[in-house]
Structure 1
Amino acid sequence: MQRFPFPSRDALSSSVFDLAQWLRLEASLIDTIGQPEFPARLLQALFAAVPIDTAFIVAHAPGQPPLMLEEGRVLPARREEVHRYLAGPYLLDPVHLACVEGRRQGLVRLADIAPDQFQESEYYRNFYASHGLADEVNILIGLERAGGIALSMGRIASHGAFAPEELAVLASIEPLVAAAARRHWAAEAVSGDGAGQALHAQLERAFNRFGGDCLTDREAEVARLILRGHSSKSVAHELAISADTVRVHRKNIHAKLGISSQGELFSLFLAAIATPGTA
């Protein structure tokens, strides 16, 4: 598959996206709808529009683990991370939650759908910052059967975040990209099998019971929200309690679990979902 080199920042600042030219060059994308090569061709069209370092396509359906639809554009350094994500940590992923709950569609930045302290969370450190990812944008596409598809596009730190003009380019092509994706996956199953449903149910039970052997129900709720990147203020808003009460709960959580940091809390979460059948 053709690879699109990352242009210099000078070249980027002096270039002007030509939508008409892009449509002429990428019109063949429509011809691949319903064909096996469509997912890879879809990412190729995105790479032709703006500079992207890493990208993949994932289906998110209620009651199912995420299903990888295309990973040919994932940076080698991120492949292991992506597969670790699919094994259970996706339960903390704001993209997964947004698709399953149908809260957002169209072009969104991670900051648009993530909790207020997501970038301070251990999940973010483990699945974004640890491999030098500086920015991520997603095209979220809802499906009639519920759930949706996320076209995730990332930039590494050395290339900087997506610039406003690049986001404008992606926004300009999003309607065609989303329409083509809906047409392609309308007749193709994008959910897993019965085994996937069973695994997801076990993972969700493990997550919902996290800390339940020693935490109160409210403390367990607070712990789950902290794991998803909520600040004390955001937790207070979600649970309709005071920030002072949240701080007391956090202190109790640390004491009861024998931990002193969010990193240790995240490690306990990973251990809990590693053996979901025993939770």
Structure 2
Amino acid sequence: MTDSTFDLACWLGQEAELVDAIGQPQFPARLLQALFTAVPIDTAFIVAHAPAHPPLMLEEGRVLAARRTEVHRYLSGPYLLDPVHLACVEGTPRGLVRLADIAPDEFHASEYYRSFYASHGLADEVNILIDLPGGGGIAVSMGRLAGHGAFSAAELAVLASIDPLIAASARRHWAAGPVIEDGAKQALHTHLEHAFNCFGAACLTEREAQIARLILRGHSSKSVASELAISTDTVRVHRKNIHAKLGINSQGELFSLFLSAIAKPEVV
């Protein structure tokens, strides 16, 4: 199907088996199949994001082979910078959302975006965010490559029209919550959060460290100023001090320091 020929009644008839799959091992894969039938999608996966827990991969059978390494590298720690992870953990928004609508203003210029999106030609991503019992959410992430262009308004309308059934089915399937990761992965998540929250603590002031974390997540100086209720000029001074104290000259070097910080117990 394409966005110009989508017939909701026809789709419902074809994808009724999704409801039959609720509670069965094949449900996650069947859910993605239903989405791929509705609109052209290049790559997709389903991840559960719960507060104080590492993300849990629920389905990766539709991830492009070229992206699998980056997806698993994402799950090893950089997810702490991901707008989708933050949206799920913080509880807003829900439903169909574009990455661009929930990301900070300079996210697409961030090293995180270059490393985990643009490096494999991903041009656009949309997510269906679904509440989890006990907090957090499930993200059904769907991506399009640059060669196929961003999701059109018509395609987004199609996804919005089937979102209620997709979300209701997922809530029913995961009504008890996804299986929590083992103790070792939970301990890793605790370390990662601590490393991120303490990033730069060895040489930066508390305010500078706070600003560095916002920059890593893709906030511009203007956005940082708005988040912290300070002036843009003050943010620029702090950024200059951060670079001087950390011995760096670019956001790329800041990102490299972050990756080093989450790779070991010591803080930068």
TM-score range, shorter chain: over 0.9
1:113 matched residue in structure 2: 102
Equivalent residue for 2:114? Answer: 125
Give matches, 1:82-161, under 5 Å: 82-161=71-150
TM-score using structure 2 length: 0.97
Q: Is the 8 A contact 1:59 1:190 kept in 2?
A: no
Equivalence for 1:194: 183
In structure 1, distance between residues paired with 2:58 and 2:179 = 8
Using the TM superposition, give the Cα deviation of residue 30 of structure 1 relative to its aligned residue in structure 2, in angstroms.
0.5
TM-aligned CA deviation for residue 16 of structure 1: 1.8
Q: Secondary structure of 1:211's match?
A: coil
Q: Which residue of 2 aligns with 1:181?
A: 170
Could you say what secondary structure the match of 1:47 adopts? helix
SS, match of residue 60 in structure 2: strand
Q: Say yes or no: does 1:71 pair with 2:60.
A: yes
Q: Return the offset for 1:198.
A: 1.6
Q: Distance in 2 between matches of 1:203 and 1:271?
A: 11
For residues 188 and 145 of structure 1, do their structure 2 counterparts lie closer, same or farther at Cα, with a shift above 3 Å needed?
closer
Q: Indicate if the aligned counterparts of 1:59 and 1:191 stay in contact, CA closer than 8 A.
A: no
Which letter maps to 1:26?
E
Indicate the percent of aligned positions where both proteins have the same amino acid: 78
Query: CA separation in 2, counterparts of 1:54 and 1:190?
Result: 24
2:208/2:242 contact within 8 Å kept: yes
Secondary structure of residue in 2 paired with 1:73: coil
Residue 55 (structure 1) aligned to one of 40, 44, 47:
44
Give the one of 195, 204, 215 matched to 2:193.
Answer: 204
Which of 227, 231, 241 matches 1:238?
A: 227
Amino acid in structure 2 at the alignment position of 1:235: V
Structure 1, unmatched stretches of 5+, are: 1-6
Give the conservation status (yes or no) of the 8 Å contact 2:48–2:178.
no
What is residue 23 of structure 1 aligned with on the other side?
12
Q: Tell me, in whole angstroms, the C-alpha distance in 2 between the residues paired with 1:237 and 1:193.
A: 39
Assess if the C-alpha contact under 8 Å between 1:206 and 1:272 holds in 2.
Answer: yes
Following TM superposition, where does structure 1 have runs of at least 4 consecutive aligned residues deviating by more than 3 angstroms?
none
Question: Structure 2: where are the runs of 5+ without partners?
Answer: none
* Matched-pair contact (CA < 8 Å) for 2:126–2:141: yes
State the partner residue of 2:33.
44
* TM-score, reference length from structure 1: 0.94
Question: Once structures 1 and 2 are overlaid, which stretch shifts more, 88-97 or 194-203?
Answer: 194-203
Query: RMSD across aligned C-alpha pairs, in angstroms?
Result: 1.1
Question: What is the number of residues matched between the two proteins?
Answer: 267
Partner of 1:267: 256
